[in-house]
Chains A and B, each alone.
Chain A
Amino acid sequence: MSVMPAVSGVSGVSGARGGVPGVSGASPGLSGASTVSGVSGVSGVSGVSGVSGASEASDEVGEVGDMPAPLAARARLFPALVAVYRAQLSRARVARIPLLFVATFQSIGIMILMRGVVDGGSEARAVVAGSSVLVVAFVALNLLAQYFGQLRASGGLDHYATLPVPPSAVVLGAAAAYASFTVPGTAVTAVMGSALFQLPMTNLWILIAVIPLSGAALAGLGAALGLLAPRQELATLCGQLGMSAALLLGVLPAARMPQVVSYARDLLPSTYGVEALARSFDGQPDWWVVCADLGVCAGVAVVSLAAATWAYRRAAVR
């Protein structure tokens, strides 16, 4: 029992220094005493009541306790984002590739179906562009909404919430990864579609801008839906509905839509990606209009990612 004041004295001193060296210097003594009985003695002494013999030591501990301990460093935005991105991308190998095939085949199937209805012209461009962006909607909107919905429902968000990461790093990292998953599928769909409808492929490089921008906009929307939905099933439902909207409003030629539906089409962020891609199939595309479409995509992306970050904060601390 005589060891006890000395032990709690040691912990007091090291706490005052606020550094680890003090502790490790004293560790041989401590580890010697860290059998159950020895340490339980320590806790008995410096407990609330404070035994008279050790009151000095426990006072010291109390004082040190009042001085806030230094906080560990935060993870900075960019490295954290990269870490989340890398981790999410590694998931692709196990979990995402089959779904990516589904997304691509779905879009190719739709194009083959529309081949019988549409024969060239602006409608063909709309079908190919819509089907390509549909892959982005499937993965970035639908799957990301499901992922965050599941993470929130199961309590998996606690893992991120107890790490010193900026919320935007988690949301942006996941969104960027999901947008990346869409690249091969979207490219394959666009090339297949161009071949199928005999459209020029010279300007397909525009996908370099279309995929990240519409991907970011849809991923932000998907993440926000997943994080805001009160139940996991609702998150899945919202993701599915969003994708259905992207399918119907993106693939079907806009000219034939009723007025109300075309308003809904204007509200959907994927529409502007579809428009930009469709315009680039022209022989002489009006690049200003294409840029304006992509600008809308970028603007929506900023807003939806900000909304997703806000939703993440809200979901993480309940």
Chain B
Amino acid sequence: MVCTVRGLVKTYPAARGRRGAPATPAVRASDGIDLDVVRGEVFGLLGPNGAGKSTLVRQLTGLLRPDEGHVRVLGHDLVRHPERAARLLGYLGQDSTALDELTVALAAETTARLRGLETRAARAERDAVIEELGLGEVAGRPLKKLSGGQRRLACVAAALVGERPLLVLDEPTSGMDPVARRAVWAAVDRRRAERGVTVVLVTHNVIEAETVLDRVAVLDRGRVIACDTPAGLKALVADEVRLELVWRTEPPLDVPEVAALWKTVETARAGGGAAGRRWTLRLPPDDARAAIATVTGGPAFAALDDFTLATPSLEDVYIALGGRAEGAEGLVKA
């Protein structure tokens, strides 16, 4: 077991209102979290904004002291010895201020030096990681002058230098183009295959989560509401598929079958519903097939602009588990 978390509780105190800033109530950002991360896996933390993902990783990395609970990483008690975290894991935070004015090459080299490498080794690692992530062209430019995705990639480079058995990455690929994303996942995968590196990953992006994660914990309001493989989670809602209908203009409610569908849409629980001309339905496969037959044949077809039928995604799982419906929109960022 690389990382064990038991009964983790962290409450941010209430803030008094100031001029221009309203008072905020106390927030229980971690509310009794239990987790086990196994060696060599890519473990994801998924959830909407404010679910407590970053608070959790900040406690895993010794940056934040929990109010209650235990964090053990590779056999070390990080609540008692938070300073050991820096010698066990590599961390990629959301902010790049510390590196912004350095060039990409110097950011990687300095970080390697500060991870305890000798000059020669640090330079070798710097060159290797720049090559690996395809940063060669921008190596001599300061991070501040790069686009958001490239800057993020440079921060990933800094997080990867110096071998660490555990990598904790907070939204590593946010703002990246597909090429950069692929480079990051290839680099992570190589470290896992060659050195058995474990990765704990915060993500917002459901599609990415499905492809790169071995296991995923879904967080909502500081709690783990589910934890399984992406496939295992999706099996929870395997009896339903998602049907999206887009109408050209007004939906043809005079067609009785469409009117019946509209009733389903209207009464749909969280995650279904209508947004203008777009209807989203979660239906058993047979019903979905029948609905498609209705709208693609007969008079309704003339009014139909587009339709999609999809097997459940992690987003559907999240909604089925009772996550906040309004937060679900923040779940898919890409």
The verdict on B41 contacting chain A, using a C-beta distance below 8 Å, is: yes
Partner of B41, one of A27, A42, A94, A161: A42
* Interface class of chain A by DSSP: helix
Closest-CB distance, B107 to chain A (whole angstroms): 8
**Contact in complex: B116, A24 (CB < 8 Å):** no
Stretch at the interface among B83-91, B218-226, B304-312, B315-323: B83-91
**Contact in complex: A317, B63 (CB < 8 Å):** yes
The verdict on A73 contacting chain B, using a C-beta distance below 8 Å, is: yes
Q: Which residues of B contact A11 (CB under 8 A)?
A: 38-40, 196
**Contact in complex: B38, A162 (CB < 8 Å):** no
Q: Which residues of B contact A66 (CB under 8 A)?
A: 75
The verdict on B229 contacting chain A, using a C-beta distance below 8 Å, is: yes
The verdict on A30 contacting chain B, using a C-beta distance below 8 Å, is: yes
The verdict on A86 contacting chain B, using a C-beta distance below 8 Å, is: yes
The verdict on B265 contacting chain A, using a C-beta distance below 8 Å, is: no
Closest to A86 in B: B110
Give the interface size bracket for A toward B: 35 or more
The verdict on A165 contacting chain B, using a C-beta distance below 8 Å, is: yes
Closest to B189 in A: A34
CA–CA, A208 to B62, complex, Å? 41
Q: Mark B153-173, 1 if CB is under 8 A from A, else 0.
A: 000001000111100000000
Stretch at the interface among A150-158, A192-200, A266-274: A150-158
Q: Which residues of A contact B91 (CB under 8 A)?
A: 158, 162
- How many B residues have CB within 8 A of the partner chain? 72
The verdict on A202 contacting chain B, using a C-beta distance below 8 Å, is: no
Partner of B93, one of A44, A84, A87, A155: A155
CA–CA, A42 to B2, complex, Å? 14
**Contact in complex: A155, B94 (CB < 8 Å):** yes
The verdict on B102 contacting chain A, using a C-beta distance below 8 Å, is: yes
CA–CA, A37 to B231, complex, Å? 9
CA–CA, A245 to B95, complex, Å? 34
**Contact in complex: A157, B98 (CB < 8 Å):** yes
Q: Which residues 262-286 of B have a CB within 8 angstroms of A?
A: none
**Contact in complex: B87, A74 (CB < 8 Å):** yes
Q: Which residues of B contact A94 (CB under 8 A)?
A: 101, 142, 144
Q: Do A72 and B40 form a contact, CB below 8 Å, given A23-B195, A154-B97?
A: no
Q: Which residues of A contact B64 (CB under 8 A)?
A: 317-318
Q: Which residues of A contact B103 (CB under 8 A)?
A: 90
**Contact in complex: B98, A156 (CB < 8 Å):** yes
Q: Do A68 and B115 form a contact, CB below 8 Å, given A48-B36, A160-B98, A164-B86?
A: no
The verdict on B7 contacting chain A, using a C-beta distance below 8 Å, is: no
Partner of A71, one of B84, B107, B193: B84
The verdict on B82 contacting chain A, using a C-beta distance below 8 Å, is: yes
CA–CA, A186 to B249, complex, Å? 73
Closest-CB distance, A244 to chain B (whole angstroms): 26
Q: Do A69 and B88 form a contact, CB below 8 Å, given A317-B65, A318-B64?
A: yes
Q: Which residues of B contact A46 (CB under 8 A)?
A: 38
**Contact in complex: B74, A69 (CB < 8 Å):** yes
**Contact in complex: A71, B88 (CB < 8 Å):** yes
**Contact in complex: B106, A90 (CB < 8 Å):** yes
**Contact in complex: B98, A47 (CB < 8 Å):** no
**Contact in complex: B62, A36 (CB < 8 Å):** no
Closest to A169 in B: B114
CA–CA, A150 to B144, complex, Å? 15
Q: Mark A79-95, 1 if CB is under 8 A from B, else 0.
A: 11001101100110011
**Contact in complex: A159, B195 (CB < 8 Å):** no
Q: Which residues of B contact A30 (CB under 8 A)?
A: 40, 193, 196
Given contacts A69-B75, A159-B99, 14 further A-B contacts (CB under 8 A): A11-B39, A11-B196, A30-B193, A34-B193, A36-B214, A43-B215, A61-B1, A87-B107, A90-B102, A90-B106, A159-B93, A159-B158, A162-B61, A316-B63
A-B contact pairs, 13 of them (CB 8 A): A24-B195, A40-B230, A47-B215, A68-B75, A71-B88, A75-B116, A79-B113, A79-B118, A90-B102, A90-B103, A155-B94, A162-B63, A163-B115
Interface residues of B (CB under 8 A from A): 1-2, 4, 36, 38-43, 58, 61-65, 72, 74-76, 82, 84-91, 93-99, 101-103, 106-107, 109-111, 113-116, 118-119, 142, 144, 158, 162-165, 189, 192-196, 211-215, 229-232
10 pairs of A and B residues whose beta carbons are closest in the complex? A156-B97, A68-B75, A69-B74, A31-B193, A65-B1, A83-B113, A159-B98, A40-B229, A162-B91, A156-B98
